[in-house]
Amino acid sequence: MKILIVEDEPELRELIQRSLEKERYVVETADNFNAALYKIEDYDYDCILLDIMLPGGSGLDILERLKSMNKRENVIIISAKDSLEDKIQGLDLGADDYLSKPFHLAELSARIKSVIRRHQHNGKLDIIQGNVRIEPDNFKVFVGNKELELNRKEYDILLYFINRPGRLINKSTLAESVWGDHIDQVDNFDFIYAQIKNLRKKLKEAGANIELKAVYGFGYKMIVE
């Protein structure tokens, strides 16, 4: 899962980033309005943590921009501004939740999981495709009733595809989502081939009836056999 933190206060931004990275999220940051605008226009995120008061502009204008682009990122407003008007306006513009500063990191984590589960998993605690089941809250994968051991990136790749069954995913989109936005500067995607090769082998050996099918010259898509 990839998260964008839009927050101008360095200590808070870094604290949130470290906390979420410990929970195995891929985390990107922006410390002002223009940097945030660049990020949302060029990349996709599973959740955006958005401050309202930013150098160079308002977080509410970022929400307006997301809406005009028809992007469906989950957005949680994190702001010291706690007026009812701000909350209503933010929610009307498409925000999914509103958390007032100061807040506990445990509450922020719970809210992130809640909005992602609500939008991507239909509110369910686990995700099922074919005979494969993922428990996102504890990073476990099962084929049938047997747990499948995966490394972190293998797990991240599987989770990405299992949330998008049948969708054709190009290599650069997959790389950005699993490794972070800076990965668009690499010369090749050999590291993706290696991880997917290992993942496909483990799924096959475990008897999974889902497959990551290669589409020559483009990328991959997950199918249920």
* 26-30 sheet: strands from edge to edge: 26-30, 2-6, 47-50, 74-79, 97-100
Tens digits of residue pLDDT in 110-146: 999 989 888 766 666 788 999 999 998 889 999 999 9
Is pLDDT above 80 for 191?
Answer: yes
- pLDDT band, very low/low/confident/very high, at 62 (cuts 50, 70, 90): very high
In this structure, what CATH number is given to the domain that contains residue 87?
3.40.50.2300
User: Domain check: are 11 and 37 in the same one?
Assistant: yes
User: Domain check: are 87 and 140 in the same one?
Assistant: no
User: Domain check: are 142 and 105 in the same one?
Assistant: no
User: Domain check: are 180 and 205 in the same one?
Assistant: yes
What is the phi-psi region of residue 130: left when phi exceeds 0, alpha when psi lies from -120 to 50, beta otherwise? left
pLDDT for the residue numbered 20: 95
Lowest mean pLDDT among 6-15, 70-79, 110-119, 176-185: 176-185
User: Domain check: are 26 and 93 in the same one?
Assistant: yes
52 and 79 in contact (C-beta within 8 Å)? yes
pLDDT for the residue numbered 171: 84
User: Domain check: are 137 and 163 in the same one?
Assistant: yes
The residue-averaged pLDDT of 88-106 equals 90
State how far the Cα of 173 lies from the Cα of 6, in Å rounded to an integer: 21
User: Domain check: are 65 and 101 in the same one?
Assistant: yes
User: Domain check: are 100 and 157 in the same one?
Assistant: no
Lowest mean pLDDT among 33-37, 49-53, 83-87: 83-87
User: Domain check: are 45 and 104 in the same one?
Assistant: yes
The residue-averaged pLDDT of 101-115 equals 92
Q: How many domains does the chain have?
A: 2
User: Domain check: are 27 and 73 in the same one?
Assistant: yes
Q: Pick from 104, 120, 136: which residue ends a domain?
A: 120
Question: Considering the entire predicted model, what is its pTM?
Answer: 0.77
- pLDDT band, very low/low/confident/very high, at 186 (cuts 50, 70, 90): low
In this structure, what CATH number is given to the domain that contains residue 215?
1.10.10.10
Q: Pick from 120, 147, 167: which residue ends a domain?
A: 120
pLDDT for the residue numbered 130: 93
State how far the Cα of 156 lies from the Cα of 154, in Å rounded to an integer: 6
Q: Pick from 74, 92, 120: which residue ends a domain?
A: 120
The residue-averaged pLDDT of 187-201 equals 86
User: Domain check: are 95 and 131 in the same one?
Assistant: no
Q: What does the mean pLDDT of the chain come to? A: 89
Q: Which domain holds residue 84?
A: 2-120
pLDDT greater at residue 206 or residue 189: 206
User: Domain check: are 141 and 107 in the same one?
Assistant: no
What is the phi-psi region of residue 207: left when phi exceeds 0, alpha when psi lies from -120 to 50, beta otherwise? left
Tens digits of residue pLDDT in 23-47: 989 999 999 999 999 999 988 899 9
